[in-house]
Amino acid sequence: MTPSHAAAAFTLACALAASAAEPPAARDARPAIELPTRSDDQQQALAAWSRTAFCYCGCPHTVEQCLREHKTCQHAHRMMVLAARLLRAGAKKEELPKLVAAYYASFDKRAKIDLAKFGPPRGGPNAKGTLVEWSDFTCPYCQMVRPALESFVEARAARVKLFYKPYPIESHPGALELAQAGEWARDAKIFWPMHDALFANPRGHSPDELAELASDAGGDPDSLREALESGKYVAKIRDSQAEARAAGLKGTPSLFLNGRLLGLGDYSDEGLEFTLQDEEEWTAHGGWQKD
């Protein structure tokens, strides 16, 4: 048992010990384990969900029953953590069962994503976890997500690597031009320096502006000008966009982990670590580990 599992087990044991001393009516009014939420209504929603949702550990119990009776189960506690996080993020009581079910169903749905021409990755090249980000250099949401996402990957380079694939929103001025500059930079072996420069200058999209960025990143500005003029990389970008739509892209940015769409949109360090841990369990056991 890892230190994090030991801490979770201790917290759970304390909650169960406290609940055993309460009258039955009091126990029924709250979850088997209390987790931070923003209101009493959310606590009640969490309790109601735990009494009807079945645990993914393989036993025929609800999450609440598993927490109270199945002492070796590691899944029920994680399911409660996920549900509490969703409620804190604003999920309604009636939405919670569908959102939790969609998260677990996503592990059975894997897109085949072509990465052969979209390296190198950021992070550990031999890491088992493969994050793919479909993104647009001009997208403000991509701008917001980028620092946390890259920090997450760099801190876990032994566990996960990140590939960037272009999905320019062509109603954004310059989106297609910046995407072409990014693909040119891959062939020039300066993708990540150019990637950073393009995100830092999303409105600089004239050929001369992009050529200056290419030069600063260590590339040949005339080569980039020629690529933009000929449209050399447009077909590759169109293929990337089509592949993203087929894989279930919801907008930019969209993240996939080992081909699984991270559809909840929680790209925080906490949220990504949670789903990476689940992915590592799923990969190690070929599905959920049975308790």
Q: How far apart are CA 207 and CA 148, in angstroms?
A: 30
Tens place of pLDDT per residue across the chain (291 aa): 343 443 333 333 333 333 333 343 444 445 556 676 778 899 999 999 999 999 988 888 999 999 988 888 889 999 999 999 999 999 999 999 999 999 999 999 999 999 999 999 999 999 999 999 999 999 999 999 999 999 999 999 999 999 999 999 989 999 999 999 999 999 999 999 999 999 999 998 899 999 999 999 999 999 999 999 999 999 999 999 999 999 999 899 999 999 999 998 889 999 999 999 999 999 998 998 877
Q: What's the length of the chain?
A: 291
Q: Kind and range of the H or E element at 272?
A: helix 269-285
Quick one: tokens of 91? 């999920």
For the domain covering 122-257, report its CATH number: 3.40.30.10
**What is each CA distance from 243 to 183, 239, 251, in whole angstroms?**
16, 6, 13
Kindly report whether the global pTM for this prediction surpasses the value 0.75.
yes
Q: Map out the domains of the chain as residue ranges.
A: 3-108, 122-257
Quick one: tokens of 60? 């025929």
Q: Kind and range of the H or E element at 256?
A: strand 254-257
Query: In this structure, how many other beta carbons lie within 10 angstroms of the beta carbon of residue 54?
Result: 15
pLDDT (0 to 100) of residue 17: 32
